[in-house]
Amino acid sequence: MNEKITGAEALIKSLIAEGVDLVFGYPGGAIIPVYDKLYDYTDQLKHILVRHEQGATHAAQGYARVTGRPGVVIVTSGPAATNVITGLSDALMDSTPLVVITGQVASSFLGSDAFQETDVVGITQPITKWAYQIRRAEDIPWAVARAFYIANTGRPGPVVLDIAKDAQNGLLEWSHQKCTYIRSYIPYPKINDEDLKAAADIINSAKRPMILSGHGVMISGAEKELAAFAEKADIPVTATLLGLSTMPSDHHLYKGMLGMHGNIGPNINTNRSDVIIAIGMRFDDRVTGDTSKYAPQAKIVHIDIDSSEFDKNIKTNATIHGDAREVLEKLLPLINHADHSEWLKTFDECAKVEREKVIEREVFRTEGTMTMGEVAHKVSKATGDKAILVTDVGQNQMFSSRYFRYTDPKSILTSGGLGTMGFGLPASIGAKMGAPERTVCFFTGDGGLQMTIQELGTIMEYGTDVKIILLNNNFLGNVRQWQELFFNSRFSQTPMVNPDFVAIANAYGIAAENVETREQLDDAIARMLNHKGAYMLNVNIDPTDMIFPMTPAGAAVDDIMLNANEKFQIN
């Protein structure tokens, strides 16, 4: 007979057995038994004490996205459990694997409105792949193994284990067996040969094909397969926001970002193409615009691990249900070599207009206050286009995503589906801890930074080397832009009175400086990147700066504004 241990210790040992070496969390009454046992395992399991439970989930997302391994969070019950809701919802929308462990009152108190009791499973079921309450110590190893299997297979996502306090204190004979099968859960379906052939026939007959590369390409690690597929068939590649960095920015077939603030060529040519190959993306409304006017001449080939995405937003002509990398490997031999040089030239024509009408103004301005675009461009260039870009949400997100350039895979980390302000600071901490060898550049606005600014304390405690670029315009910039364009410049509750961010950073032991003028920018970037440790640049940005091109909400994808007064003219 094996020696019996407590459920709390079984949880720690089960996490280690699943390969976990780093967790993010915050202790409290209903999870104290776990934290007590964690004290004995600090040499095997490092715990990062965040300053707010929401920060734990976003940090775990950052860690998961750069490593491809589930991020793990441990918090207590009640308000701690409700504080992880935003991160869980964000992770589900963006297919990020998380295992979130919450404490719970003892099972005998369940349903009695005990102190800090919350129906965690009831609350989190709609925003997780699996939520389960553990009331017996002997169920902990089984539940942990199952949680990791579900979180990190198929379309990844978050799971929640809600562990009653008596289950943490109860005794069991511990053993751990990895979960490799769950009846009725088929994370990697067998790819249908007929579906492959049907898709190949459509692709081989195309005259104006276009690939839409989504987050699924990154999740499956299919970047090389994507390049081989595109090169053989000579097909231009465009990317969703979360699909950025799935192809290097300087690849001759890469033509830019799709979506509301994407590049002109990908959006215009969506409605010119005759075949669209969508890989690991969900046809979000920010990509499609008015679906009734989306790609009217195109046959749609959709490749995805999640069959529920097929025909959900855009009707398809062929679908392939499977992991992106495996599908592309099987599809490649069926694809003919092709030459689409004339079609590719149309992207270059659009890019020329975009450079003249938008990029010259945003990136290469020589007069007036600095723009977000020029800051992002210069930071990316100074890192050799090798850094991981982490963004918050808003104009800072769109500008930095557009003007950063990507050389390596897994080089952007942003909140896409949920659009969570406050995501970026804790996510950058998790990203740096997951990829310590890479430079992490975090772009944020003055609004988003203040939503989770307490996580500067986490950076201080662990010495996390995150480079923070605060694009400070004293406005909620994205909302301000919409107010100016569509609400008669009625700036309701968007101007902000901000604190001294440099003083705040310094109070947390973080080096920081104000960048007031364009002439100061290059040297400030160099000081930031050469500094060993966290560094903040508080950059003075033109408050009237707006992000273009822009497809207005509800408009057709090719209805593109070049600025507040001019639209792109389709030839």
Span 360-405, pLDDT tens digits: 999 998 888 999 999 999 999 999 999 999 999 999 999 999 999 9
| Exposure string over 55-75, b if 16+ CB within 10 A, otherwise e | bbbbbbbbbbbbbebbbbbbb
Query: Is residue 218 within 8 Å of 388, Cβ to Cβ?
Result: no
Q: What is the mean pLDDT of residues 310-317?
A: 97
- The predicted-structure confidence for 181-228, as pLDDT tens digits, reads as follows 999 999 999 999 999 999 999 999 999 999 999 999 999 999 999 999
Identify whether 495 is preceded by a cis peptide bond (ω within 30 of 0). no
| Residue type for position 395 | Q
Count of Cβ atoms closer than 10 Å to residue 197 Cβ: 13
DSSP helix/strand/coil, 148:
helix
Mean pLDDT over 320-345 rounds to 98
Interval 234-276: pLDDT, tens:
999 999 999 999 999 999 999 999 999 999 999 999 999 999 9
Query: Which residues, 6+ apart, have CB-to-CB distance to 198 below 8 Å?
Result: 318
The predicted pLDDT at position 570 comes to 73
Q: How far apart are CA 549 and CA 542, in angstroms?
A: 18
Is the separation of the CB atoms in 338 and 233 below 8 Å? yes
**Residue 1's pLDDT band (cuts 50, 70, 90):** low
Looking at residue 164, its pLDDT comes to 98
Q: Which pLDDT value is given to residue 247?
A: 98
Mean pLDDT, to the nearest integer, of 33-45? 97
pLDDT band at residue 110 under the 50/70/90 scheme: confident
Residues 277-309: tens digit of each pLDDT: 999 999 999 999 999 999 999 999 999 999 999
Which two three-digit tokens encode residue 88?
């869980």
Chain mean position to CA 531: 27
Looking at the predicted structure, is the pLDDT value of residue 571 above 70? no
d(CA 374, CA 250): 19
Ordered DSSP codes for 364-398: S--SSSB-HHHHHHHHHHHTTT-SEEEE-SSHHHH
Cβ(344)–Cβ(237) under 8 Å?
Answer: no
pLDDT at 66 over 80: yes
Residue 108 has pLDDT above 90, yes or no: no
Task: State the pLDDT confidence band at 111, using cuts at 50, 70 and 90.
Answer: confident
Give the SS3 label for residue 242: helix
Mention every residue, 6+ apart, whose C-beta is less than 8 A from residue 502.
Answer: 512, 513, 514, 536, 538
Question: pLDDT value at position 569?
Answer: 85
Question: Average pLDDT, stretch 508-528?
Answer: 97
The answer to whether 370 and 364 have CB atoms below 8 angstroms apart is no
Mean pLDDT value across the chain? 97
**Alpha-carbon separation of residue 567 from 210, 249, 550 (angstroms):** 23, 26, 9
Backbone φ, ψ for residue 341 (5° rounding): -60, -40
Burial profile 515-529: b = 16 or more Cβ within 10 angstroms, e = fewer = beebebbeebbeebe
CA triplet 165, 170, 174: central angle to 5 degrees? 120
Model confidence band, residue 112 (pLDDT cutoffs 50, 70, 90): confident
Cβ–Cβ < 8 Å for 421, 453? no
Amino acid found at 333: P
The pLDDT value given to residue 109: 86
